[in-house]
Amino acid sequence: MPAIIEVNNLCKTFGEVSAVNDVSFLVNSGEVYGFLGQNGAGKSTTIRMLLTLIRPDSGSIKIFGLDLKQKRIEILRRVGAIIEKPDLYKYLTALENLRIFGTISGVKLSSKDLMSRLEYVGLAERANSKVRTYSQGMKQRLGIAVALVNNPELIILDEPTNGLDPQGIADIRNLIIHLSHEEKKTVFISSHLLSEMELIADSLLIIDSGKKIVEGRLAELISPEKSVVELITVDKAATLNYMMSSPWKENIKEIADDKLILEMKKSRIPDLNKELVNHNIAVISIRPVHSLENFFLSKTQ
Amino acid sequence: MLWQLFKIELFKIFKRPRTFIAFGAIAVIVVLIQFALKVNGKDFVELFLDSQEDIFDVPYEKIMNGYFVCVAVLHTILIHVPLLVALIAGDMLSGEANAGTLRLLAGRPVSRTQIVLAKFFASSVYVLLLLIWMAMLALFLSMLIFGTNDLVVFKEDAIHVMNQDDVLWRFIAAFVFAALALTMIAAMAIMFSAFAENSIGPIVATVCIVVVFTIIEQLRVPVFKETIIPYSFTSHMLGWKGFFYVVTDADGNTIDGSVENPSALVRSALILLGYIVLFLFITIRYFKKKEILS
Amino acid sequence: MANYLYIAVLFLMGVDLPRGHDINETLRKVKEKYDKVDDYTATGKLKTNILFIKAPVATVKVYYKKPDRLRIKNEKGVSLIPKGTVNINPNNVLTLKDYESFDGGIEKVNGKDCRVIKIFPLDDKNDISRATLYIDETEMLVMRSVITSKENGTYELVLTYGSQKDWALPDKVNFTFNTKEFKLPKGISIDYDNGTAKDSKKEKDKKGKIEISYSSYVINKGVADSNFD
C-alpha cells in the first residue's frame, strides 16, 4: 500500500517546551490510523503541522508523496480536516458554512449537492438554521460535513466524537468505517475513546510528552494471545483455591477485592467457564476487558 | 481563488449585525448634525464669523445650505468614521482567531497572502459602501433639507467661497479621497488584527492612534511640526478638505474649477497609498509566518 | 497800487488767483444732478479683493431709493458684502443739511482734474463725521469720496462713469474699507495643511476692496420697499 502520510523526524518546540520530539510515522492509503496520547502529548500540535497551521522546527512531511512545504495548496485540496471542536461561522447557516468551505477547498457545489452532504450527517432539516442555534453534537456533525465537503482522499479528524451522545459516537464510528472500507479513504484520527479506536483503527501511534512511544498495526500490537479477562464469581476464595491448583494458575495476573484479572486467549473463555462450573464454582461474570486501554496505559504510565 | 475569497469575505461582512450598526451609526451621526444645524445653524456660523459681523452683512441662511452641512458632516471622517471602520477591519483576523474559524480557513488550500488580501479588499469595499451611504445622507439629504447655494468653507485664516455650480465635483473628489484615507485606516486595523487573538485590542489601538496623532497635529508644537506631522497620516487624511480651497487670481477672485496647490493633494494621496502598502506588507509578512494555535 | 501790481505780477507768472471759488455752488449743482434719480435697480458684477476672503465674481442686484437707501444683494449666491456699502451712493454726503465745507484744491482722479471739497457735518448725531469729495466740475460728478462714518469706519469710493453719467450713475465703483483680522481659534476649523504660504506683504494691508461693475440700470421705475429688508 502506498504511503499517504510520511512524517520523518518531526520536531516542534514552544519556548522551552518540546511539544513534538523527533516523531516519525507512516500512514498507508485506505487505512484508519489512530493517533493516541494523553492531553498535552503533542497530538494537536502534530495535526496542526500536517495542516500547515504551525511550521515544524525540523523534520519533513510528505502527503500523497508530495512535500508539504512545496506543494501545500495541491495537497490541501485533497485533504479534509476537523481540529479540536469545529468552530464554524455562528452567524451563518449550515448551508452557508458548507458552501464557503467548499468554495475555499476548490469545489463548486450546487445547493442540491450541499444538501446531500448535510443529509449524510443528519442535518438536512436544520440546513437553514444559524449555527449558533446548534447543539454541540450538531456542530460536531456539521464539522464532519465541512471536512468531507471537497470529497477528500485524506481525512484528518482530531477528537471527532467530542460532545456526542452514544448514538452520535456510534454514527461517527460507522461513518469512518464506511469512508475507509467502502470509499477507500484514508482516515487519520486522534481520539481519547480507546474503546472506539479499538473497533475501527487499522494502525496506531501512541505519543507521550512529544515522543513516539509505539507505532504499528493494531492487530499486531494488541495480541489476541494476551487478552485481559475479568472473572467475578460468588465465592472468590474457592475460585482462587481451584485456580492456584490448576494450569490456570499461569493466567492469573491480578487479584482484586471482588474479582480476578486473568491474561489469556479470548477463545479459551468458554473452557474456563466450563471448568469452573464443573468444580461447582458459580460464575457471575467472565469477560474480556479493553485490550487497547490496557496497552495504552502500559505504554504511557 | 482570490476573487472567490474576496466574495466570501464580503458576504461574511454583510452577514454580521455589527456591519449594519456601522451604517446605522452613520445615519444617526448625520441626522443629528443636520438636526442641530437646522435648529441652531446661525450660532454655528457665528462661531466662525463672529469677528466679522461688524464689517460685513453675513447671509446666514444662505451659508447654511446643504453643501455647508455636508462639509460639517465630513469632519466626522477624522475620528468617528475611523472607529466604525476599525470595528469591522480590526475584527478581520483576530475575530476569526477568537472564534476558532481561522484554523479552519488557514488549513484550506488557500495562501495566507490571499486571505489577507481578500480581507483587505472586502474591507475596502465596505469602506466605499459606508462612504456612499454617508454621501447619500450627508450630501443629498442635506441638499433636500437645506437647499443649495454657494459653498463657504472656513480655514483658520481665510474664508473660501465657491460657486454652487463648482461644488459637486469637489464633493466627489473629497469622498474619493476620504475613501482612500479610510482604506488606510482599514489596512492599519487589519494589521493590528493579525497580531491579536481578539478584536478589542486592534480596534482600540487603531482609534487611539488616530486620536493621538490628531491631537499632536492640532497642538501645533514646533518640534512636532518638523518631525512627526509631515509623516502623520492624520494630516494627510484631511486632504479631502483641500478640494475646497480655491485659488484666486491677481484681483483676489476665485477661479472656478481650481484647487489650491493640487500637488499637495497628490502628495497626500501617495503618502496614504504608501501607508496602505506598508501596512499590508507588514500584515502579509507577519501572517505568513504566524503559528495558528487558536 | 501795490496790490494791483502784485496781482499783475502774479497773473504774468501764471499763478491761479484765488478767484473766490464757490464750493457750495459746486455741491449744489452736483446734488441737483444726483437728485434726478429717485430710485434705480441695476445688475452688477461684484469682485471681492479682501485678503482673507476668496470669493468668485458674483452677480448682484443693486437697489437704490432716495435719499439714503441702498442695498446690494446676491440673490442667487453667497456674498459677504461690507456694511459700509450702504454709502456707495454719494447722496449720503450730498444730502447733509448742516455742515462746514472747505476747498481742498485740485487733485487728479483717473487722469481728471477734480475739485477737492472737505465736508464736516455739524450735527453730532450724524453717522458721517467727515467726508472728502473729489468732483469733476466739468461734468459735476463725484469721482472719488473718502468718508469717515462712526459705524463703519473710513472707506473710500472711486467711481467711473460711462453711459449713465447724465444720471450721475457710475459704470464702476471701487470701494475700499478697513478690515479686521480673520483668525479662528485652533481646533475650530481643522485645516488641511497644503503648504500654501501666506503672502506676508499682503498681510500688513488691513484694507479690503470690492469692485462693482454696473449694467442694466432701471431708473426711476419704482423699487419695492421689501428689497431693502
- Residue percentage of chain B with pLDDT more than 70: 100
Contact B173, B243 (CB under 8 A): yes
Please give the single-letter amino acid code of residue A153: E
Condensed to tens digits (0 to 9), the pLDDT of residues C57-84 reads: 999 999 999 877 889 999 889 999 888 7
What is the interface pTM, i.e. ipTM, of the complex?
0.85
- Closest-CA residue in chain B for C183? B157
Which of A190-199, B1-10, B208-217 is the most confident on average?
B1-10
B251 contacts C78? CB cut-off 8 A: no
- Choose the closest CB to C78 out of B63, B78, B245: B63
| Closest-CA distance of chain C to residue B178, Å | 13
Size of interface A-B (CB pairs under 8 A): 75
- Choose the closest CB to A53 out of B1, B99, B107: B107
Give the residue-averaged pLDDT of B139-157: 94
| Closest-CA distance of chain B to residue C13, Å | 45
pLDDT at C13 over 50: no
Put simply, whether A66 touches B (Cβ < 8 Å) is no
Average pLDDT of the residues of chain A: 89
Give the residue-averaged pLDDT of A117-134: 91
pLDDT given at position C201? 59
Neighbours of chain B (3+ CB pairs under 8 A): A, C
pLDDT at C203 over 70: no
C74 contacts B59? CB cut-off 8 A: yes
- Choose the closest CB to A83 out of B5, B103, B110: B103
Put simply, whether C192 touches B (Cβ < 8 Å) is yes
A96 contacts B111? CB cut-off 8 A: no
3-state secondary structure string, chain A?
CCEEEEEEEEEEEECCEEEEEEEEEEEECCCEEEEECCCCCCHHHHHHHHCCCCCCCEEEEEECCEECCCCHHHHHCCEEEECCCCCCCCCCEHHHHHHHHHHHCCCCCCHHHHHHHHHHCCCHHHCCCEHHHCCHHHHHHHHHHHHHCCCCCEEEEECCCCCCCHHHHHHHHHHHHHHHHHCCCEEEEECCCHHHHHHHCCEEEEEECCEEEEEEEHHHHCCHHHEEEEEEECCHHHHHHHHHCCHHHHHEEEECCCCEEEEECHHHHHHHHHHHHHCCCCEEEEEECCHHHHHHHHHHC
Lowest mean pLDDT among B80-89, B175-184, C101-110, C190-199: C190-199
Give the residue-averaged pLDDT of C207-229: 90
Give the residue-averaged pLDDT of C164-188: 87
pLDDT given at position A163? 75
- Choose the closest CB to B104 out of A72, A101, A103: A101
Lowest mean pLDDT among A104-113, A264-273, C87-96: C87-96
B15 contacts A55? CB cut-off 8 A: no
Put simply, whether C193 touches B (Cβ < 8 Å) is yes
Condensed to tens digits (0 to 9), the pLDDT of residues B14-64 reads: 999 889 999 999 999 999 999 999 999 889 898 898 888 888 889 998 999
pLDDT given at position B11? 96
- Choose the closest CB to B161 out of C78, C82, C180: C78
Cell of B170: 469637489
Neighbours of chain C (3+ CB pairs under 8 A): B
Q: Are strands A58-63 and A32-36 parallel, antiparallel or unpaired?
A: unpaired
Put simply, whether A77 touches B (Cβ < 8 Å) is yes
C82 contacts B55? CB cut-off 8 A: yes
Give the residue-averaged pLDDT of A181-200: 86
Structural domains of chain C, with CATH: 21-181+204-222 (2.50.20.10)
pLDDT given at position C95? 77
A87 contacts B100? CB cut-off 8 A: yes
| Closest-CA distance of chain B to residue C121, Å | 23
- Choose the closest CB to B254 out of C55, C79, C83: C55
Please indicate whether chains C and A are in contact, defined as at least 3 beta carbon pairs under 8 Å: no
Give the residue-averaged pLDDT of A153-179: 86
Q: Is B38 helix (H, G, I), strand (E, B) or coil?
A: helix
Beta bridge partner(s), residue C105: C116
The helix (run of H) or strand (run of E) holding residue B181 is helix B168-195
Condensed to tens digits (0 to 9), the pLDDT of residues A12-52 reads: 999 999 999 999 999 999 999 999 988 888 999 999 999 99
C196 contacts B48? CB cut-off 8 A: no
- Strand-by-strand arrangement of the C53-54 sheet: B151-155, B158-162, C53-54
- Choose the closest CB to B108 out of A54, A74, A104: A104
Residues 74-103 in B contacting A (C-alpha not used; CB under 8 Å): 99-101, 103
pLDDT at C9 over 80: no
B289 contacts A89? CB cut-off 8 A: no
Put simply, whether C206 touches B (Cβ < 8 Å) is no
pTM: 0.85
Give the residue-averaged pLDDT of A93-114: 93
Residue B74: partners with Cβ closer than 8 Å, 6 or more residues away: B138, B174, B178, B240, B241
pLDDT given at position A296? 76
Put simply, whether A46 touches B (Cβ < 8 Å) is no
Put simply, whether A146 touches B (Cβ < 8 Å) is yes
B57 contacts C48? CB cut-off 8 A: no
pLDDT at B209 over 90: yes
Put simply, whether A92 touches B (Cβ < 8 Å) is yes
Structural domains of chain A, with CATH: 3-221 (3.40.50.300), 224-300 (3.30.70.980)
Put simply, whether B200 touches A (Cβ < 8 Å) is no
C56 contacts B157? CB cut-off 8 A: no
Give the residue-averaged pLDDT of C90-111: 85
pLDDT at B4 over 70: yes
Size of interface B-C (CB pairs under 8 A): 144
Put simply, whether B11 touches A (Cβ < 8 Å) is yes
Put simply, whether C11 touches B (Cβ < 8 Å) is no
Cell of C186: 485652533
- Choose the closest CB to B245 out of C76, C78, C194: C194
Which of B10, B13, B103, B104 has the most A C-beta neighbours within 10 Å, making it the best mutation to test the interface with A? B104
B16 contacts A87? CB cut-off 8 A: no
Give the residue-averaged pLDDT of C28-33: 89
pLDDT given at position C14? 46
pLDDT at B84 over 60: yes
Put simply, whether A108 touches B (Cβ < 8 Å) is no
Put simply, whether C88 touches B (Cβ < 8 Å) is no
Q: Which residue in C224, C207, C213 sits closest to C47, CA to CA?
A: C213
pLDDT at B80 over 90: no
Give the residue-averaged pLDDT of B178-201: 95
pLDDT at B243 over 70: yes
Q: What residues in A contact B105, CB-CB < 8 Å?
A: 104
- Residue percentage of chain A with pLDDT more than 70: 97
pLDDT given at position C205? 67
